[in-house]
Each structure stands twice: as structure tokens, then as C-alpha cells.
Amino acid sequence: MTNRYDAIIIGGGHNGLTCAFYLARAGMKVRVLERRHIVGGAAVTEEFHPGFRNSTASYTVSLLRPKVIADMKLHDHGYRVIERTISNFFPFPDTYLKLGGGAGRTEAEFARFSKKDAEAYPKYDAALEKVANVLRDIALQTPPNVGGGLSALRNAAMQGWPLAKMDLATQRDLLDIFTKSARDFLDGWFEDDHVKSAFAFDAVVGNYAGVSTPGSAYVLLHHVFGEVNGKLGAWGHSVGGMGAITQAMAKACASVGVEISLEAPVAKVLVNNGKAQGVKLEGGEELYAPIIAANVGPALLYRQLVDSSDLDEDFNRRMKTYKTGSGTFRMNVALSELPDFTVLPGKEQAEHHTAGIIIAPGMGYMDQAFIDAQQKGWSKKPIVEIKIPSTVDDSLAPPGQHVASLFCQQFDPKVDWDKHREKVADLIIDTVNDHAPNFKASVIARQIHSPLDLERKFGLIGGDIFHGTMGLDQLWAARPVLGHGDYRAPIKGLYMCGSGTHPGGGVTGAPGHNAAHEILRDRSILWKALHRKR
């Protein structure tokens, strides 16, 4: 293998693979360097107990951009998504609520709690959809680079135009979403606590904040801008787990000649005279390319891989304080049988077993979980989402048995997790058991990912599932920081192509797509300049 490339990508997560694909498709010689033994980053499927496989970290798909799916021909490489009959099932102490399965069905379900809320639902849904459309439109567009001259101004004007064309009510909704707490936002639409908490849950996913924290409404929106098989807002299951998506991406990369190296951790970005020259691997090998694209998050890139002397003081300071830590605890469990919920009994597979099962009974419960986490590190009554993908995909567990993802929110990233992980895992299982009393006894094996485990295994600093907090201060042109929202690092030839750039976290493929676009743009400008000189 040569040690010279047109571009080197640090990290083989789904965005690194997406970026590599577009660059190689344009004729560049591209090498991807992945630290782990498997590509995919936070979108992988692994066996965690003999015979039981599951999506190790991310576990459900919606946000992956249709253009990326089409360009990479992912369906030809094995990508398939199954839709669920209903999206979510919420057990409460004395009742339950099912969300999804069509607007009419959700309205009827809400009417059991509040007729007024059932009537408000279609209007709420339509309003949110209009705002989500804005996010869909800008997801594959490079944010304007503040201080970036004429092209940035043109870019800002083009992205601002759809906003200016919006009706006033939608502009007001947009402002609410960006500034309000999920609680304040939902109070404006609904009266019943069951209904409100069914929507508010999305606001605390990957967000170390309460439903009453200002800005939390935006995270709610971030979870609804996707689609599955053309159905807007829907979430689905990737057959074979999330790893099937990144395996399909790796095949797409191979089809255009990308070289992928596994167990190839990058130790340093090599910089000379303010220009990126290549990378040094932990094993000492040096590889060279005029373009380096970092799929790793900004905190890892600028605190560990780039020498601080290659960055200016202000940038260093901002990267030191760049906010990470989504407060997420993630477990996989092998189950001998399905959970038997007190409020909806039965161990035979039913539609609620195929849904996202969400233990977040009430707005107060979710607020308290965050208050507890701030005071004690975690809540005695945590927020837990359970997904049992083996109910729709028989490739994951032996017949008659199951695997489940437990995705839990509000766990302080700063806790000494080596000390506390096992007892917190017990607490999470006990929490599910309070609602489904056969659950604890049905657990055959468990895999635990505390925030610290997520950092160690996936390189997610602070265990941040999104490579950085998704607050107004770290979004769009300010992701990761104002002046570098356009995928270009402050070092010439160094780019960022991961979730720490616009439009942020989730399995979207958008940062990888957009970064490749900017790299190719710079390259074509350079080519033109070189040709003019000759």
C-alpha cells in the first residue's frame, strides 16, 4: 500500500464513510482509517452474548437522508428498513398510551385522556411538520460561514429565503422551537400530562437537560425531521441492525475504490506551516494527503489529535469548553421472553412489543430525573426506552428468545462510572421490572455502556452520542463554533465531516455529504487556479 493519498478520513463512522464515498466517486484516491476492528462508529451491529446480536449503540433509523441512500445505492448493498405498526408505547402506573399507527388512531388514543388534545393533535402535527421541513431543507446545505465573505453572504441569503417566505404562524413556531423548553412549547398545544410526556420524551433523548430546560424543544424537533420509506417523521428498524447500514456504506465505498483500514488509530494530525500534511498512526506509521477529513468529534480532534500550537488561542479556548456529555447510558440485554406489562398484560408478541417502549411516565418524572442526575449523578427513577428489534428481525436472537436495547437518559457524564456502572445497570433493570414484573428474571445476559464506556469504545468524548450538545450555541453555523460551521477547520486542508458539524448527531449521513461537497468545491477552485497560472 502507498502512503500517499488525495484524502485521508480519520474514522470510519457512517459520516466518514459517506464523505469517503463522495470524494472517491469524484475520482480522488481515498483512505479511511478506523480505530476499531469494525467500521460504523456508533452505527454497528455486534454479538454481545453467544447467539445474540444487536445494534451496539444507535438502534433505530429515520434521519438518514434519502439523497445519501440513493447516491450510495444502499438498497443494492443490502439496506432495508422495516416500519413499525405503532411508534411508541408508554406504560404509566395505571394506564398506557400508544402513539402512531396513523393520525386517526393517535387522535382516538389521545381522546381517552383529553378530547381537546385529540382535536389539537392534527394542528400540532401539521405545524411541527412545517418546521421540520425547514430542517429537512437545510440538512444538506452548508451553513453560511460567519466572516466568510461574499459567498457566505449569498449562502446565508439563500438559506434565509425559505424562512422569510414562511407564514407568520410557522415563523412563530420556529422561534418557539429554538428558544423554549419542551414543557413551555407543549403547554401551548396540549393540556393532558400523558399526551405532553409522549411528545416531550424526544426532547430529552441525547440531551442532558430536563423537559423544562430552555432550548429543549429543539431536540424534540431534531428527532422528527427524518422519514422511513417515504413516510415523514417515522422511525424504523434496519434489518440486521444499524451495522447493516454501515456495512452497506462500506460496500458502496469499495465500489468506488476507497481503501479502508481497520485497527488503524490516528494519533496526530501532521501540520506544517499551517497546512495539514497527513496523519501519524498510533503505531508510528505516517500517511500523507493534502486533505484530511476528521469524522471524529471536535472535542477529540482538537483536544487530542491536533497540536494546540497549531491553533490560535481563542479557538483553543473555545474547543476546551466545547460542550459534550449527552448523559446517556446504553445497555443491550438478551431475553428469554418478552416483557409482560402490568398495564397491558401478555408475554405473547403483540404490537406494543414491536414499538419503542418508553418509561417516562409524566413531565414531572422527566424533570425529576434531570434534577436527581445533577444532584446525585443519576435518578432513582430513570428514563428508559426499550426497543426489542428481534420482534421484527429474526437475524438477531435464537428462535423464541429476544434482544433488547435499553436507551437511558439523564446520567451525569462526570460520575466515576467504573465504580457505579453495575449498580446503575441493576437500577435500570429494576425500573423496567416495576412496569413488567417478569423482566428482571428474563435477562440472560447484559452489555453495559455507561457514558465512560461510550467514550472508551466509540471515542465519544463525555459519552456524547451527538459529538457535542445540540444547543442553540452549538448548532448550524455555530457547529462546532462560529467561523468554522462550513466543515473547514482553522488549519488549511483539514476538514470536519462528523456529527459535531451541521446538522448534528444522528445517523443522517448529512455532515459527511456536506463536507465532501465543500472539499470538492475547494479542490475545483484550486484546480482552476492552477490551470490559470500555467
Ligand X SMILES: Cc1cc2nc3c(=O)[nH]c(=O)nc-3n(C[C@H](O)[C@H](O)[C@H](O)COP(=O)(O)OP(=O)(O)OC[C@H]3O[C@@H](n4cnc5c(N)ncnc54)[C@H](O)[C@@H]3O)c2cc1C
Q: State which of residues 113, 506, 513, 516 lies at the interface with ligand X (CB under 6 A).
A: 506
Among the residue ranges 51-59, 178-186, 251-259, 424-432, the one whose residues contact ligand X (CB under 6 A): 51-59
Q: State which of residues 5, 7, 8, 16 lies at the interface with ligand X (CB under 6 A).
A: 16
Exposure of 265 by Cβ count < 10 A (0-12 exposed, 13-18 middle, 19+ buried)?
middle
Is 58 a binding residue for ligand X by CB under 6 A? The answer is yes
Looking at beta carbons only, is 117 or 453 nearer to ligand X? Answer: 453
Is 34 a binding residue for ligand X by CB under 6 A? The answer is yes
Looking only at residues 389 through 418 of this chain, which bind ligand X when binding is defined by CB under 6 A? 407
Among the residue ranges 148-156, 157-165, 194-202, 451-459, the one whose residues contact ligand X (CB under 6 A): 451-459
Is 31 a binding residue for ligand X by CB under 6 A? The answer is no
Looking at beta carbons only, is 12 or 278 nearer to ligand X? Answer: 12
Strands in 378-420 per DSSP E: 378-387, 402-411
Shortest Cβ distance from residue 435 to ligand X (Å)? 21
Shortest Cβ distance from residue 430 to ligand X (Å)? 21
The three cell numbers locating residue 105: 388512531
Beta-carbon contacts of residue 362 (< 8 Å; ≥ 6 apart): 92, 193, 194, 197
Helices (H) and strands (E) in the chain, counts: 18, 21
The three cell numbers locating residue 117: 388534545
Q: Phi-psi bin for 517: left (phi > 0), alpha (psi -120 to 50), beta?
A: alpha
Q: Please give, one letter per residue, the 3-state secondary structure of 123-175.
A: HHHHHHHHHHHHHHHHHCCCCCCCCCHHHHHHHHHHHHHHHHHCCHHHHHHHH
Is 240 a binding residue for ligand X by CB under 6 A? The answer is no
Is 465 a binding residue for ligand X by CB under 6 A? The answer is yes
Shortest Cβ distance from residue 295 to ligand X (Å)? 5
Beta-carbon contacts of residue 284 (< 8 Å; ≥ 6 apart): none
Going residue by residue from 261 to 300, which x/- string records binding to ligand X, judged by CB under 6 A? ----xx----------------------------xx---x
Is 224 a binding residue for ligand X by CB under 6 A? The answer is no
Cα dihedral 497, 297, 39, 47 sign? negative
Shortest Cβ distance from residue 193 to ligand X (Å)? 26
Q: Is the peptide bond before 398 cis (omega within 30 degrees of 0)?
A: no
- State the DSSP H helix or E strand holding residue 526, giving kind and residue range, or none if neither: helix 510-533
Strand 402-411 versus strand 227-228 pairing type: unpaired
The three cell numbers locating residue 503: 446538522
Is 10 a binding residue for ligand X by CB under 6 A? The answer is yes
Q: State which of residues 23, 42, 234, 516 lies at the interface with ligand X (CB under 6 A).
A: 42
Shortest Cβ distance from residue 466 to ligand X (Å)? 5
- Residue 260 sits at φ, ψ, to 5 deg, of -115, 125
Looking at beta carbons only, is 328 or 447 nearer to ligand X? Answer: 328
Is 480 a binding residue for ligand X by CB under 6 A? The answer is no
Is 498 a binding residue for ligand X by CB under 6 A? The answer is yes
Going residue by residue from 296 to 335, which x/- string records binding to ligand X, judged by CB under 6 A? x---x---------------------------x-x-----
SS3 404: strand
Can you say how many angstroms the Cα of residue 175 is from the centroid of all Cα atoms in its chain?
23
Tell me how long the chain is. 534
Looking at beta carbons only, is 134 or 266 nearer to ligand X? Answer: 266
Shortest Cβ distance from residue 496 to ligand X (Å)? 10
The three cell numbers locating residue 114: 383529553
Going residue by residue from 178 to 217, which x/- string records binding to ligand X, judged by CB under 6 A? ----------------------------------------
Site residue total, ligand X (CB under 6 A):
39
Q: Is the peptide bond before 511 cis (omega within 30 degrees of 0)?
A: no
SS3 489: coil
Binding site for ligand X (CB under 6 A): 10-16, 33-36, 41-43, 57-60, 63, 265-266, 295-296, 300, 328, 330, 407, 454, 458-460, 465-467, 498-499, 505-507
